[in-house]
Amino acid sequence: IDAALSDGPLRGKRIVVTSGPTYEPIDPVRYIANRSSGAQGTAIARALAVLGAEVIFVTGPADVAPPEGVTVVKVETAQQMLEAVQGVLPADAAVFAAAVADWRVASASSSKIKKTKGGLPVLEFAENPDILATVSQMEQGRPDLVVGFAAETDHVIENATAKCARKGCDWIVANDVSHETGIMGGAENDITLISDAGAEDWPRMSKSDVAARLAERIAQALA
- Residue 212 · residue 40 · CB < 8 Å: no
Among 63, 68, 102, 144, binds Ca ion (CB under 5 A): 102
Q: Which of residues 8-37 bind Ca ion (CB under 5 A)?
A: none
Among 36, 96, 171, 207, binds ligand CTP (CB under 6 A): 96
Rounded CA separation 208/214 (Å): 10
CB under 8 A, 24+ apart: contacts of 180-184: 184/35, 184/36, 184/37, 184/151
Any idea what the Cα angle at residue 128 is, between residues 123 and 133, rounded to 5°? Answer: 160
Rounded CA separation 98/148 (Å): 9
Catalytic residue among 34, 128, 159, 175: 34
User: What is the torsional sign of CA 84, 133, 23, 43?
Assistant: negative
If one asks whether residue 151 binds ligand CTP (CB under 6 A), the answer comes out as yes
If one asks whether residue 50 binds ligand CTP (CB under 6 A), the answer comes out as no
Question: Is 189 in the active site?
Answer: no
User: What is the torsional sign of CA 37, 40, 44, 46?
Assistant: positive
If one asks whether residue 84 binds ligand CTP (CB under 6 A), the answer comes out as no
Q: Which one-letter amino acid corresponds to residue 75?
A: V
If one asks whether residue 177 binds ligand CTP (CB under 6 A), the answer comes out as no
Question: Does a cis peptide bond (omega within 30 degrees of 0) precede residue 90?
Answer: yes
Among 131, 145, 183, 212, binds ligand CTP (CB under 6 A): 131
167 assigned ligand-binding residue: yes
If one asks whether residue 100 binds ligand CTP (CB under 6 A), the answer comes out as yes
Which of these segments, 43-51, 145-153, 201-209, 212-220, binds ligand CTP (CB under 6 A)?
145-153
Which positions make up the binding site?
102, 112, 129-132, 149, 163, 167
Where on the chain is the footprint of Ca ion (CB under 5 A)? 102
Where on the chain is the footprint of ligand CTP (CB under 6 A)? 18, 78, 96, 98, 100, 102, 128, 130-132, 148-151, 163
